[in-house]
Amino acid sequence: MSLLKIVGFALLGLALGQLYQPASTETVSVCPTNFTRVADKCLLVDKSWKNWYDSDRHCRSLNAELLSIKNQTELKAIQEWLPVVAPYDPEFWTSGNKLGEAKALVDYYWQSTGEQARYLPWNQGQPTPASGDCLVLYGSVSMSTGQMVMEKHLLSVKNCTQWASHICQTPLQQFTTQLCLNPSAVYEAKVPV
């Protein structure tokens, strides 16, 4: 084959290949259906009262986990979001617990991550390990002004077999969106990252 033919085929291949290249590419982060983006995770409040074990199973059935809190910034975002989605719910199960630990220890773990809970924003008078082994976000209710006022939700210890609402979490889903052009169509493809 002559050099001229090889160069011609290479140019033709390059030109045809360019027709099917994405015209634009963008990475997007979205939450699954019914979940809301709060800080850097997706959250869902379930107002049906369940014990901690059933709450954990419910979240897992949604390919999610019970809530864990990693820092003050994340807690602040959750505290701003809760009055909007559940203004009158005083408590929510989290994944925090000390199940399987010696009763004398007060180390709590986030079941959703398997990590020791280092950031523990306790309610006044907490922790009370004798109360149970699981953690709820609890907002006390005040009627001092004549109106019901929900205080900020902070952590409290609760018996795992008692009932509360719960919050499920799942990570943001990352997609690369590509707008593709070819001679016969224009289409958008979402490709999981």
Compute how many other C-beta atoms are within 10 angstroms of the C-beta atom of residue 97: 23
Question: What residue ranges define each of the domains in the chain, with the CATH number in brackets?
Answer: 31-172 (3.10.100.10)
Whole-Å CA distances, 109 to 16, 57, 64, 114? 56, 17, 17, 6
Task: Determine the Cα–Cα distance for residues 109 and 104; give it in Å rounded to an integer.
Answer: 15
- The number of residues making up the chain comes to 193
From 12-21, 45-54, 152-161, 171-180, the region with the lowest mean pLDDT: 12-21
d(CA 31, CA 38): 10
Written as six digits, the tokens of 160 are 């795992």
Asked if pLDDT for residue 86 goes beyond 60, the answer is yes
pLDDT, tens only, 92-123: 999 999 987 665 556 899 999 999 999 999 99
Whether this model's pTM surpasses 0.75: yes
